[in-house]
Amino acid sequence: MASAAAGGKGGKDGFLGELRDAVSLRAALLVLGVLALQLAFVTSYLGAFHNPTPDKVPIAVVAPQQVQDEYTQRLDTLPGTPLKVRTATDDEAEAVQQIKNRKIDGALVVDPAGTTDRLLVASGAGASLSQALEQVIRAVQQAQQRLVEVEDVVPVEKGDARGLSSFYLVVGWSVGGYLIAAILAMSYGARPINLSRALIRLGALAVYAIVAGLGGALIAGPVLGALPGNPLALWGLGALIVFAVGAATLALQGMAGVIGIGVAILLVVVLGNPSAGGAYPGPLLPPFWRTIGPAFPPGAGTWSARSIAYFDGAAITGPLLVLAAWAVAGLALTLLFAVLRGRGQNAAGARTP
């Protein structure tokens, strides 16, 4: 009888009891966090990629001085402003150099004596961008009953399909950065307990970053032939990316515990990857993603990798400073949170009789 009563009582709230035992409040909150992160992922990627449209793509007009203003006005006033003439010159070599310095993305070379002009592009900066530029210019030329020939002055490597190898390489380095930080933290808990442990973790991260940077550079260059450029420069870039992302992840873990890993994924994967200019370079992205992209490691890294591979390191200073800022901030905050946590533990111990 007593046993039956106990069983009846257990049957009454058995499921709810099992549910409370199986899924704690903390676990439920983490599940909701994962759901929010997943929906943010879908929103960010679809928002960035669902409708790539050229917006003020910087180009040059190469034409005799008497027709420069005419073409500049025509291209700058196209519906939707897909183009923005940055340079009007009669010197084709100057325009080519500006493309190679990454100041502009293309140049229209006008031949007023004929009916065929030339469009200079750089697929090394992203095949989707050069193709979008070609489509816009062809439409303009057809309206004027003129033809256009396309010349790629910075072509991609044969093994670099659509110029995406730089982006995928940087994504791999970024993923390695936050994964190694998560593993280092999980070995003894997400928050560093003291300064010594934080220094050890940062030291281990630095060693890993050097090895990971070298491995990625060798695979992309000599092994697969996917990227040209200086392998040593790519190695240094890879090491910086891995350390920057890893140090930022350690800092976020020191501040928020395991939730910091989710914040790192939000910053690097959800926001950073679609805005990096990989599949679609900045001028093809919506304003929000085009604005934030250069401030995140994937964006700064992708620009830098392409510059090293195809543009002899042109216009790389700014992106490298962004990566260095992430690395320095991550390192400093990791140490700061470790010191503060250590002081809190010492104070708690002093109060304990």
**pLDDT 10s digits, 266-307:** 999 999 999 999 999 999 999 999 999 999 999 999 999 999
Can you say whether the dihedral through the CA atoms of 94, 137, 307, 55 is positive or negative?
Answer: positive
Can you say whether the dihedral through the CA atoms of 120, 124, 127, 129 is positive or negative?
Answer: negative
Distance CA 284, CA 268 (A): 20
Q: How many CB atoms lie within 10 A of CB 44?
A: 20
Let me know how many helices (H) and strands (E) the chain has, helices first: 12, 5
Q: What is the pLDDT of residues 120-129, one digit of tens each?
A: 999 999 999 9
Distance CA 316, CA 97 (A): 16
Helix (H) or strand (E) holding 200: helix 195-218
Q: What is the pLDDT of residue 10?
A: 47
Residue type, 305: A
Confidence of residue 75 (pLDDT cuts 50, 70, 90): very high
pLDDT at 353 over 60: no
Distance CA 48, CA 303 (A): 17
Domains and CATH numbers, the chain: 57-152 (3.40.1710.10), 161-347 (no CATH)
pTM over 0.85: yes
Length, in residues, of the chain? 353
Confidence of residue 1 (pLDDT cuts 50, 70, 90): very low
pLDDT at 249 over 90: yes
Q: What is the pLDDT of residue 4?
A: 46
DSSP state of 156: P
Q: Which of 121, 118, 99 is nearest to 110 (CA)?
A: 118
pLDDT (mean) for 2-11: 47
Distance CA 41, CA 271 (A): 8
Residue type, 204: A
Q: What is the pLDDT of residue 187?
A: 73
30: helix, strand or coil: helix
51: helix, strand or coil: coil
Confidence of residue 345 (pLDDT cuts 50, 70, 90): low
Q: Which of 317, 318, 320, 308 is nearest to 154 (CA)?
A: 308
Helix (H) or strand (E) holding 303: helix 297-310
Confidence of residue 258 (pLDDT cuts 50, 70, 90): confident
Q: Give the end-to-end CA distance of the chain in Å, rounded to a whole number.
A: 50
Q: What is the pLDDT of residue 279?
A: 92
Query: Which phi and psi (to 5°) does residue 312 adopt?
Result: 55, 35
Q: What is the pLDDT of residue 298?
A: 98
pLDDT at 55 over 60: yes
Q: What is the pLDDT of residue 3?
A: 46
Angle of helix 195-218 versus helix 317-351 axis, rounded to 10: 150
Distance CA 24, CA 95 (A): 63
Non-local CB neighbours of 34 within 8 Å, separated by 6+ positions: 262
Residue 202: both structure tokens together: 């940062």
Q: What is the pLDDT of residues 127-185, one digit of tens each?
A: 999 999 999 999 999 999 999 999 999 999 988 988 999 999 999 999 999 999 999 88
Q: Which of 263, 259, 298 is nearest to 277 (CA)?
A: 298
pLDDT at 7 over 70: no
